[in-house]
Structure 1
């Protein structure tokens, strides 16, 4: 497989294929990075920050596409990114403007699969979560609550967990361990 050079956006959050996030770009280097991505100079990868690391992120990242943007009242730029492809960050370099460029290698995304009956509660709970958090739901033109990979990845994006723990699940070959984890988590809250 061929490696790909990408602009690396390092955030405190995890974004996975099929997921969407709205991000605020404030610093000049972030704005320059967005401009270079939109001009086609680089593809964009989003990675979760990790201290004491070079580059300062986890090696599992997600190639994403800027699907929308607008100027906020404080004149900063808001972009909406959508995760496309998991990638592994092999190396990185920090440019003079403090932005990061990374050499990446594509990884296999989780395959789409229907939700088994025993896991339908996970899908229903995610639907309820979006009803309570309409700002997140508004990012999606459509949801895929019937797809186990899509549902489990959305849970990993929103659960209040350490990124290192989320990425242990992300690095699995499929969504099954994540589905089991979320099911146990939901059952533990129902049983209390």
Structure 2
């Protein structure tokens, strides 16, 4: 496989393929990064922050596309990112403007698969989560509550977990461990 040079957007957030998040761009290097992506100079990869590391992020990231943007009332820029492809960061360097450029290698995304009957509660709980958080639901034109990979990745994006724990699950070959994890979490919440 061929490596791809990407600009790194390093954040606390995790976005996975098919996921969407709105991000506020305030610093000059963030605005320059957005401009270079929109001009087609670089592709964009979102990587989760990792302390005491060089680069300061985990080596699993997600190539994202900027699908929308608008100016906020405080004159900062808001962009909506959509995750496309998981990538592994092979190397990275920080530029003078404080932005990061990385050499990446595409990883296999989780394959779409129907939700097995015993996991339907996970899909129903995500639907309820979106009803309580309509701002997140509004980012999507369509939800795929029938797809185990889509549902489990959305849970990983929103669960309050350490990024290292999320990325241990993301690094699995399929969504099965994540589905088991979320199911146990929901059962313990109901039983507790």
Task: Give the alignment's TM-score, normalised by structure 1.
Answer: 1.00
SS across alignment from 1:8: strand
In the alignment, structure 1 segments of 5+ residues that lack a partner are: none
Write the mapping of 1:62-77 to structure 2, written as runs, cut at 5 A: 62-77=62-77
Aligned to 1:49: 49
How large is the Cα RMSD of the aligned pairs? 0.3
Superposed displacement of residue 191, structure 1: 0.6
In structure 2, the residue matched to 1:113 is: 113
C-alpha distance in 2 between matches for 1:168 and 1:94: 26
Deviation of 1:142 after TM superposition, in Å, equals: 0.3
Residue 80 of structure 2 is aligned to residue 80 of structure 1: yes
Q: Deviations over 1:110-149 (max 9, x none)?
A: 0000000000000000000000000100000000000000
C-alpha separation in 2, matches of 1:21 and 1:59: 20
For 1:148, the equivalent position in structure 2 comes to 148
Q: Distance in 1 between matches of 2:29 and 2:89?
A: 20
Structure 1 runs (4+) deviating above 6 angstroms are none
Match of 2:135 in 1: 135
Total equivalences in the alignment: 192
Q: After the TM superposition, which residues 1-192 of structure 1 pair with which residues of structure 2 at under 5 Å, given as runs? A: 1-192=1-192
Normalised by the length of structure 2, the TM-score is 1.00
Consecutive unaligned residues in structure 2, runs of 5 or more = none
Q: 2: CA distance between counterparts of 1:172 and 1:130?
A: 26
